[in-house]
Structures are given as structure tokens and as C-alpha cells.
Amino acid sequence: MSDLNPAVDALVRRSNRLGSDPRNTNYAGGNTSAKGTETDPVTGEDVELLWVKGSGGDLGTLTPSGLAVLRLDRMRALVDVYPGIEREDEMVAAFDYCLHGKGGAAPSIDTAMHGLVDAAHVDHLHPDSGIAIATAADGHELTTTIFGDQVVWVPWRRPGFQLGLDIAEIKEKNPQARGCILGGHGITAWGDTSEEAEANSLWIIETAASYIAEHSRAEPFGPALEGYAALPEAERRAKAAALAPTVRGIASADRPMVGHVTDSEEVLDFLAHAEHPRLAALGTSCPDHFLRTKVKPLVLDLPASASIEDSIARLQELAVAYREDYQGYYDRNATPDSPAIRGKDPLIVLVPGVGMFSFGKDKQTARVAGEFYVNAINVMRGAEGLSSYAPIDEAEKFRIEYWALEEAKLQRMPAPKPLATRVALVTGAASGIGLATARKLAAEGAAVVIADLSLEKAQAAAAEIGSTDVAVGVQVDVSDAAAVQAAVDATVLAFGGVDLVVNNAGLSLSRSLLETTEADWDLQHDVMAKGSFLVAQAAAKAMIAQGMGGDIVYISSKNSIFAGPNNVAYGAAKADQAHQVRLLAAELGEHGIKVNGVNPDGVVQGSGIFASGWGANRAAVYGVEEQDLGKFYAQRTILKREVLPDNIANAVFVLCSAELSHTTGLHIPVDAGVAAAFLR
């Protein structure tokens, strides 16, 4: 496949334009195609090819490598061996025998639609306006009213080979048509050129949106509910932070999940009106929607003014009912050959006045699930505004959700990284040990919050690690209880909860007993002893509410054990931290929370402490040049190795990994061997 082929170039450009606008389609939703010719390297003759977006790809970010490439003659020849709708799933495997060259990406279930329709360019999209018509109770009639004979109605049919045959027949019998509305699902449009296909897609989307805007009833979701209006922003964010750990625990009863919070106008308005319980119970319709949001959400049936305590108690009751209801849904629809139930927990939790919590195997999946439910809300608004919302029925949803092809796709997913689904908060993480630790945890699959006294440095460090789906930076003064709580709140709002805390923030002033002032003593104890206590306390509260266990790791020091010169305040604060490990390990074990420590020594490289004057002071104490301090520390160790930030990060990872799942109250020395600091 050559990305210089004009058909491919036009297809990718069209796909990116369509996919970059959420009004046209959702993330990773829909597919586009083009037909054209290339030279067959075997025969030297021109061969007609079909390029179509591969399974799981996203139109907005599509590149040529994300296209499946098939021989059009072979793909269309499958019509002659099609065994009928009862066995249409077999045709997906047959696509592999139609691939050209290396074939590109894996062909999607919609490949037949693109190959069989007699048009050079085909778009299949999931626009909110189009799905609103597709899910309206009188969608067939509305399609004729809105589009005349330019768009043809297609009754609901599960995606597959038969749907491709149906749409090909519609295109043949309706030469004047620009496309069709797929009942309960989305739209398909076509054109002789890429420009014509794109124009037809946009015309259908915009015509539907304009009609809805002009003809919708004033309050599609019914009258406003007293007490259900959106709380003021600060108040709703505070309530969301207070509820988030409990909600995450509910969504993670079967398997751990990462969360996302959405308080957009669409969500808050939906929850503020009388019809939201009925509509939420009907569930979503478009397969892309409910595969990511489950068939329906859990909805808190209390007003925005309900207390935190009452809201938590009711959410826990509703969680039990939700799981029972989902089990019933599975039992009613499962057949002997259905895949096993995948989990009964909600992926979407709606809280009036506050917003929506969405969940997934990582932050991106959780965020996208929320985006999909916003799409579903927009669909409901459009359908209710013109008619009434009538999604596909439960049995059809089950056929999609527990489709053998969907199960096979899930089984092909790569194994998760060791810390996948875990949310880590690392203090003092903009440099040195903290930054190395944050990098390591993120590399092993964790979502990471970089907390530092400098917001600018924290955000820069987070951006270096990855997107906001991977890492975020927050400002915190760990000696301030309110600031610590705000950092924990920011963590649970960013990723749904917190599982792993690294107490790394620290500083040191190298002074003798007689030179150490009361202010010196207070500063070091406030940051390290008090700061670690405050962070552990606030994080443990969230961990206990989640009911998912957790890890708290203290970066203590060799000096918590070894009595060295001119560091009475630092050494005493580190000894305080070291004993906090033992005390908290004993106290928090009943909640499944492990508490362990790491005792580094001589970590000069990248250290904020050493750069701030501690290094110069220690070098003077030991009679060496400051730039040689790391080498000096290495030579006094048993292993004669310099200790680097990455060595500490590796120890933190091991303490939080499954391999040490039964270890708590432990201090790991990472000092290259200092006999005087051996643990006894």
C-alpha cells in the first residue's frame, strides 16, 4: 500500500476532517472508505482495491497504516459464498482472504458495507443529530419528512454482511439518494468523489440538526425538577470529590477501574429535568455508545441538596440493585454459547446537581465513555424533541454486547501493565527521586498525579510524562492540611480515586545542634514528619471509602537509622517518618492498605535537596568538592555504586507490585550498602 495513492490521500484527509468534529462522529466511531487502483507487484497489472478504516481506529487521527486494504473483486465475490444471516459472522474471517499485500489494519465488521455499496467513497458515521432521527419512535416518517427521497430509511439490523447487502441494494434502487439513516444506529453516505461523499455526509448531519433545532419542543426532557438544578461550580466540584471514592468503589467491585468526572452543561441540564430517570432507564442505542457505557447508567435518585452522607448511603443501596438488574439482563438474554458475564458494575454514574462519573480500564477509556454518554444525552434530546426516544430493544443490545466477535476483540487486547488501573499521588515529584518515581509508575501503567510546591514545575513534569490521560500536575504545600486535602481532591477528580501514595516531599538544612534554630527544626518537621502524616491521612480516608486497598510508601532515609553529623533536624524528621510506616502499617492493614518505606542514601543526581545547598554543606562536612559528592558517597558503600533516583523508583514499584502483595511495615535500604544503616 502506498500512502501516495490519490484515493488514499483523499480518504485520510476526509476522515481526519470528519473525525475531528464531535458533531459528526464519536471517538473511534464510524468508518470511511475509498476504492481505487494500484499496480499489483506480482502481475504488474492494475488491481482494484478497497481501503477502509480498520477495526478500532479513530477517524480524527487516522493515518494510512490504520486502513485495511482488500482486493475489491475478491471481497465482492464473497456474495457468492454468503451462507445467510444466521452465519454471517463467518464472513469476518473471510475478509482475511481478500487482503492485498500485507493488508494493513484488521478489517472491521462494517467492511462489507463499504465494499458492496457501488460508490467510490463511502462514509458511515455516528452523528448525534442522525442518531436522534434513527432512534425516534417515528424515525422512518421523519426521514422522509426531513430529507425527501435524498435519504433512505434502513430498519435496525446488527452490523455485518447482511447490512452491507441491504445498503448496497438501497443504493442501487435509489440512484438519487445521497445516503441512508440506519435505524437505532447512525448514517451512511456515499459519493463518486471523496469531496462528494464528505459533502453528502455533512448535508445529512446538518440538515438533521437544523430540523431538530427548528421543530423541537421547548423542553425535550420535561419540566425542571425542584432541587435538581446544578450546584454552583465550587460546590459541585467539592461534592464530586467527596463522592468520587465511594463511586469508584461501586464501579470497581468486579475489577478495578479508573474514573473521569464530567460536569458539562449537557449532563447537568439532563439531570435537572423530570424525564431523566425514564430516559436513563431506556439506555443508549448506538452500538458504539452502549459498548462503552453499558446498557444503562446508575442514577442517584436524590436532589442536589442531599447531604454527602445520605448520597453515599443511597449510592451503595442503588449499587446492589444495579448489580441485580444487570444479572437479570444477562440471564434473560444469554444463550448456552454466550460469553460469560463480564461484570455487573456500572460504567456511568449520574449524580443530580454534580455531574457524571464514567469509568474504564484507563483514563482515556473512562473519559471517552463519558463523551459517549454525552452523545447519548444529545440523541435523547433530539429524539424527544421531535417524537419520543425509542432505542433498540434489550435483546438486540445483548446480542451486540455479548457478540462472539466483540468477545474475540476483547481477547485480542494486550495484557495490562502491572500497575494498570492504579492511581498514584507522588509528592515532591517535580524533580529527583519524586520525578523518577512518577515516571516509573506511569511506565508501569499507573495514572500519576505530580504534586509539588511549584505548580509550574509540577505541570511541566506531568507534561513530560504524557498527556493528561496519564499524568497531571498539582500544587501542594504538604505542611498545610487544607492544601493536602485539595491535592487529594484534585487526584480523585482527575482519575476517580487514589490507590498509591508516595510521601517524597522533603528538604534539608545541614546544621549542627548548636546552629539549628527552632525555625529550622519546625520547617523540616512540618514538611517531612507532619507533611507525610497529613498526606497519608487524607489519602487513607479516600482509600478506605473506595474499599480497594492501597499502598502508601514513605521515602525516608538512611539517616532515619544512621546517626550522622550536622543533621539533627533532618535525621529526627526522617526517623519520625520511618516510625509512621510501622504505625500506619499496623493500623491500616484491616483495610487492605499496605504501608512501606524506602531508605535511600546519597542520591545527588537530580536532587532538589542537594541543589538547594544541602549538597554544598555535606561536601564541606566530608571535605570533598560538591561535584564529586556522588562519587564520594559511592566509595563509602559496600557495593561502591552511586545511588540514582531510578534506583529508588524501582524500589517503590516493587513495593507496590503484585510480587510484594503480602508485605507491609517494611523498609527497603537503597544505599548501595551502608553497614551502619542495616536494619535490625
The answer to whether 671 and 465 have CB atoms below 8 angstroms apart is: no
Angle between helices 363-386 and 194-215 (to 10 degrees): 60
The answer to whether 68 and 104 have CB atoms below 8 angstroms apart is: yes
DSSP classification of residue 160: S
Separation of alpha carbons 580 and 309, rounded Å: 30
HEC secondary structure over 267-316: HHHHHCECCHHHHHHHCCCCHHHHHHHCCCCEECCCCCCCCHHHHHHHHH
Cell readout for 388 is: 419520543
The answer to whether 499 and 424 have CB atoms below 8 angstroms apart is: yes
Identify residue 36 by its one-letter amino acid code. G
Separation of alpha carbons 544 and 551, rounded Å: 12
Separation of alpha carbons 438 and 463, rounded Å: 12
Separation of alpha carbons 68 and 50, rounded Å: 8
- Residue 590's contacts (CB-CB under 8 Å, 6 or more residues apart) are none
* Phi/psi at 222 (5° precision): 85, 180
Separation of alpha carbons 129 and 131, rounded Å: 6
Specify the residue for cell string 463518486.
192
Strand ranges inside 455-496, DSSP E: 471-475
Residues 5, 9, 15: CA angle, nearest 5 degrees: 145
Cell readout for 318 is: 442503588
Q: Name the region of 63 (left: φ>0; alpha: ψ -120 to 50; beta: rest).
A: beta
CA neighbor of 524 nearest in space, from 510, 534, 538: 510
Specify the residue for cell string 419542543.
217
Cell readout for 380 is: 435523547
Which one is catalytic: 228, 570, 622, 633? 570
Concerning whether 570 is annotated as a catalytic residue, the answer is yes
Separation of alpha carbons 136 and 391, rounded Å: 8
Q: Is 328 exposed, middle or buried (0-12, 13-18, 19+ CB in 10 A)?
A: exposed
Catalytic residues: 570
